[in-house]
Structure 1
């Protein structure tokens, strides 16, 4: 496995791989890897000849009061995990490599970025779509792998790929959870012991809501109220949002019909966690 920092060096390798007929899979990450990331690598290894992972903590998707500076980073650990999982190349550019002083271009998907996480994180998805578009142009993958945990991000990226006629397939992989149901996230490392214990309520409340739907509940407002009340029973939790939307266009729904996304964001102390389930009736 090689670690490459320069865009020009990576492009040279990609050109060689494509000339030899290799199918390229791509796993974009911000590092501090966990089993969720490794599951994306495994999916790429199964479906492609050559797997590239990017590790880049993207500054343009962090707000002024968010955790860019303290976002967990451990390149030595990440490199070991990536190599053991079978990654062929890690692309780990510097901030200056991705955003030189003269940088002035951004990509923004409208409407679906103003709901859910977009309500309280203005500019976040503009940063996401810009860096992902840049990475797609650099890596030129045949398939790119993302986790369902970042449900809104996935929908936004798929929309960008369709609208801009990008020549790749976006592959969505299931959420990987800890032994007690908590969705794996690099930010889980911020949690205190008490916050970590309390955070399990997120998956519990979502799974309970899914069971209520299975048993016939269709009123979205009742389900949102149920989830919110369950979360409010634990210490440390401060709800950002609990919403039920259409799973494709993120429009709010009043009654559960077809495929819906039940999504939430909750702060435990200073740590903001997200989780979701998709339900189809």
Structure 2
């Protein structure tokens, strides 16, 4: 695995690969890699000739009271895992390489659709940070395919809209949620869950699956289903950020004639914010 810290040298290496006719798969990450990240790398490996992974803890997408400075940096372990997964190139830039004029002067990429609801409502500015850095990374790597996990469903939908709106020539590939044995969606923030809370943390996925089953059985009282999901999670001792039944494409509240629906939820443990979702076709 080759490691790059600078945009110019990575571009030169990728230009050679592209000239040789190789397809490029890209997996953007913030590091602290777990099995779900490696599944994304494996999928990129299956789909493309060359796999590029980025590790960059993007301060622009963290809010004022969020955990950018506490976010785990585990570069040596991450590099070992990526090497074992047959990653070809690792891009690990300093902040000054990504934001050479400083973040205050950085041109921003704003996707006005779908970013002020759900996670966007509780994390103002988060998706502006995501779309800005992902657009920059797409311009740097210029991949044929970029792999994102479905666990961050709203992020996936926003990036798809950004790519469509800005005519970026990259195919966005969605990878399934990778779960713990009890159903908890795998996340870097799972390490923040206390030992006391961990046996109950899968309640979010359980509530989402129960709602999916109710929808599949014919229920369309979306508000009541949302209330039932909230009560189920609160009864387990967690605070709910949102629990919502949405149109899978627009993320608007689900309508009775929608055929593709996603149920999304976010909850707070004492030290972590967990998100998850399930989708269905009717």
Which TM-score bucket, shorter chain as reference?
Answer: over 0.9
1:270 aligns with 2:271: yes
Q: Secondary structure at the match of 1:232?
A: helix
Counterpart among 202, 216, 219 of residue 217 in structure 1: 219
Cα distance in 2 between the residues matched to 1:28 and 1:182: 22
TM-score, length basis structure 2: 0.97
Cα distance in 1 between the residues matched to 2:186 and 2:123: 21
Counterpart among 193, 196, 199 of residue 198 in structure 2: 196
Pairs aligned (count)? 280
CA-to-partner distance for each residue in 1:77-122, whole Å, 9 max, x for gaps? 1001111111001101011111123542010000310111011111
How far did residue 280 of structure 1 move? 1.3
TM superposition outliers: structure 1 runs of 4+ over 4 Å: none
User: Is contact 2:247–2:255 with CA below 8 Å preserved after alignment?
Assistant: no
1:258 aligns with 2:243: no
How far did residue 270 of structure 1 move? 2.5
Give 1:98's aligned residue.
98
Cα distance in 2 between the residues matched to 1:31 and 1:137: 20
Counterpart among 122, 126, 129 of residue 127 in structure 1: 129
Give 1:139's aligned residue.
141
The answer for unaligned runs of 5 or more in structure 1 is: none
- Cα distance change of structure 1 residues 121 and 20 upon mapping to structure 2, 3 Å threshold: same
Q: Secondary structure at the match of 1:80?
A: helix
Cα distance in 2 between the residues matched to 1:28 and 1:78: 13
Cα RMSD between the aligned structures?
1.1
What does 1:8-157 align with in structure 2 at a 5 Å threshold?
Answer: 8-102=8-102, 103-157=105-159
TM-score, length basis structure 1: 0.97
User: Is contact 1:259–1:279 with CA below 8 Å preserved after alignment?
Assistant: yes
User: Is contact 1:5–1:94 with CA below 8 Å preserved after alignment?
Assistant: yes
Cα distance in 1 between the residues matched to 2:273 and 2:211: 21
Cα distance in 1 between the residues matched to 2:35 and 2:86: 14
How far did residue 214 of structure 1 move? 2.1
- Cα distance change of structure 1 residues 31 and 78 upon mapping to structure 2, 3 Å threshold: same
The answer for unaligned runs of 5 or more in structure 2 is: none
Cα distance in 2 between the residues matched to 1:74 and 1:277: 30
1:180 aligns with 2:200: no
How far did residue 197 of structure 1 move? 1.7
Counterpart among 232, 241, 253 of residue 234 in structure 2: 232
User: Is contact 2:44–2:147 with CA below 8 Å preserved after alignment?
Assistant: yes
Cα distance in 2 between the residues matched to 1:208 and 1:143: 34
How far did residue 216 of structure 1 move? 2.0
User: Is contact 1:108–1:126 with CA below 8 Å preserved after alignment?
Assistant: yes
